Chain A
Amino acid sequence: MILADLWVAENIAFGLIALMMVVAAIRVVTTRNIVHAALYLVLVLAGVAAQYILLAAEFVAITQVLVYIGAVVVLFLFGIMLTRAPMGKMDDTDNEQRLVGLAIAVVLLGVMGYVLWKAFGKKQFEDLAVQTTAQVGNSIFQQYLMPFEVVSVVLLAALLGAIVLARRD
């Protein structure tokens, strides 16, 4: 019975997208070609946007596509070009801590998985109400106006700092 409930279209979509995201994320951290790593990152970010759509968060999904896939990945590709990284395979992309790193990641996953399973078990989403862009806008400009302004100042300061750091003089 519970299996029949779970086997609906959105779960199938979730499973396929999640599988693609995990495979692409593993390729991001294991591939020896840095340009391929950036392009696999696009797959992960697009998968995250698709998961937001599944969670009925339309505005965040569109922002994810615009900001991450549109801007951040292009910034990464510029960084790769400007540091003259070799375009083909590199020999020494990983350091000698990779086994320790793998052990830490696996232990962390085990602990987090156990805690999540203990805490939330089989809790279901009741009914996913679509939260419209208007609601998000009202919330940002009423309840969270002050944090929004702070984030704006942070963004301005960061971009000025980036220009000052990267400028040739």
Chain B
Amino acid sequence: MLLNQFLFLGAVLFCIGVYGVLARRNGVMVLMSVELILNAVNINLVAFGAYLHSITGQVFALFVIAVAAAEVGVGLALVLMLYRNRRTIDVDDVDLMKG
């Protein structure tokens, strides 16, 4: 197997996730796109770990999974607060601090 096939897959997933973060209105959908980005990073970490015969890649992939779980928990709590206060989770409507 080529190393690059995994890196290209990660790059494609990353770009799809970036598009989702930029183009989606719904807060929950934005969080799903962030998950795509984090998974792309994890594929890269594990692929480089396997390529270099190092265990570090897998350990850091596990750390990223743990941080991603924390991120989803806090993110969904924020979206829930937003819904309770504004009756909408459209992230484009949250422009109170826009100059």
Interface residues of A (CB under 8 A from B): 6, 10-11, 14, 18, 21-22, 25-26, 28-29, 34, 37-38, 41, 44-45, 48, 51-52, 54-57, 59-60, 63-64, 67-68, 71-72, 75-76, 78-80, 82-85, 90, 92-95, 97-98, 100-102, 104-106, 108-109, 112-113, 116-117, 120-125, 128-129, 131, 135-136, 139-140, 143-144, 147-148, 151, 154-155, 157-159, 161-163, 165-166
Query: Are B25 and A72 interface neighbours, CB within 8 A?
Result: no
**Residue B94 lies at the interface, judged by CB distance under 8 Å to chain A:** no
Query: Are B69 and A72 interface neighbours, CB within 8 A?
Result: yes
Q: Which residue in chain B gives the minimum CB-CB distance to A14? A: B5
Known: A52-B46, A83-B28, A93-B25. 19 other contacts (CB 8 A): A11-B1, A22-B12, A28-B32, A29-B19, A41-B36, A72-B69, A75-B72, A83-B80, A84-B83, A85-B28, A92-B90, A95-B25, A106-B15, A112-B11, A113-B8, A124-B2, A125-B2, A155-B69, A165-B77
What number of B residues sit within 8 Å (CB to CB) of A? 68
- CB contact between B3 and one of A10, A105, A124, A166 (< 8 Å): that residue: A124
